[in-house]
Amino acid sequence: MRSYRSVFISDVHLGTADCQADYLLDFLTRVRCETLYLVGDIIDLIAMQRRVHFPAAHQAVIHKFIELAASGTRVVYVPGNHDDFLRRFCGQTIAGIELHDKIVHRTADGRRFMVCHGDQFDQVVRCSPLMLLVGDRAHGLLLRLNRWFNAWRRLKGKPYWSLAAWVKSRIGKARTFIRRFELAALTVAEKGNYDGFICGHIHSAGFLRSEEGLYCNDGDWVEHCTALVEQDNGKLELLHWSETPAVLAVEPDAPHPDVCGDARPVLDSLPTGFVEQVNRLAS
């Protein structure tokens, strides 16, 4: 059993065939924490409008969240764009689970992080409607290939390996999209005088430190099977969890040279209303 002060997961997409519910259920069973943050797109209500795929493992994950809340773990649900319907219940507690549109997390070493799903930055990392449509369809095909590929690997006794993540990591436009997203989150954190920003949304787990803040993305449970965890001393790590759990990364001590000084790209727009909301939470 592993113990952490806080755990952050997002982009589970329960209700879809690509959700890695078995790995997540194993993770939730073998990990203990004081606070569990569900950082959006836990249930894919958009996909379920077209087709519902909700087997026993998906139901077990929901029951596990409720069980953890009942047993003393603080469970905080911050909805995303695929479970946007739940945002109307923010400010309420349902089945012991708190719902918040965004929330401030304070680490054991006193740092303050803004926590939200991350879809608020979609307008900053702009794509045309055509690119969104083509990208969504291509992504769906890639996930199906990933599912078939890993079914074959299991038959061969091999551990999970994300074909989808490998392909996306080699697409230049995807890397550009991710960097603009990271910069948007860092900029909002810095403007709000936070120490960092924790989110999901883009299915790309990672850290990025600037001179003034730390960006953290907890990844997903569709392609990568990752979680962000806080140790008792406040330090943050990224975990991968499948047949072979592993620490993927620890928070960097030094700023990344690409986002410091004159090397840092300038964003030409930010979601103004969202920045104002974040600043109000900071005050």
134 pLDDT more than 50: no
Confidence (pLDDT) at 39: 98
Give the residue-averaged pLDDT of 36-63.
95
Q: Tell me what the pLDDT averaged over the chain comes to.
A: 86
69 pLDDT more than 50: yes
Q: What are the DSSP calls for the chain, one per residue?
A: -EEEEEEEE----BTSTT--HHHHHHHHHHEEEEEEEE-S-SB-HHHHHH-----HHHHHHHHHHHHHHHTT-EEEE---STTGGGGGGTT-EETTEEE-SSEEEE-TTS-EEEE--SGGGTTTT---HHHHHHHHHHHHHHHHHHHHHHHHHHHTTPPP--HHHHHHTT-HHHHHHHHHHHHHHHHHHHHTT-SEEEE-SSS--EEEE-SS-EEEE---TTTT-EEEEE-TTS-EEEEE-SSS-EEEEE--SS--GGGSGGGSPPPS---HHHHHHHHHHH-
Domain range list for the chain: 2-282
Tell me the per-residue pLDDT of 247-256, one tens digit each, with 9 for 90 and over.
999 999 988 8
Superfamily of domain 2-282: Metallo-dependent phosphatases (3.60.21.10)
261 or 71, which is more confident? 71
The pLDDT confidence band at residue 133, using thresholds 50, 70 and 90, is very low
154 or 246, which is more confident? 246
Give the residue-averaged pLDDT of 142-160.
72
Confidence (pLDDT) at 258: 80
5 pLDDT more than 50: yes
Confidence (pLDDT) at 170: 62
The pLDDT confidence band at residue 180, using thresholds 50, 70 and 90, is confident
* Most confident region among 98-112, 139-153, 161-175, 268-282 by mean pLDDT: 98-112
The pLDDT confidence band at residue 275, using thresholds 50, 70 and 90, is low
Give the residue-averaged pLDDT of 16-31.
96
Confidence (pLDDT) at 116: 95
Confidence (pLDDT) at 72: 97
Give the residue-averaged pLDDT of 143-157.
72
Give the residue-averaged pLDDT of 49-56.
92
206 pLDDT more than 70: yes
Q: Rounded to two decimals, what is the model's pTM?
A: 0.86
The pLDDT confidence band at residue 240, using thresholds 50, 70 and 90, is very high
Q: What percent of the chain has pLDDT over 70?
A: 80
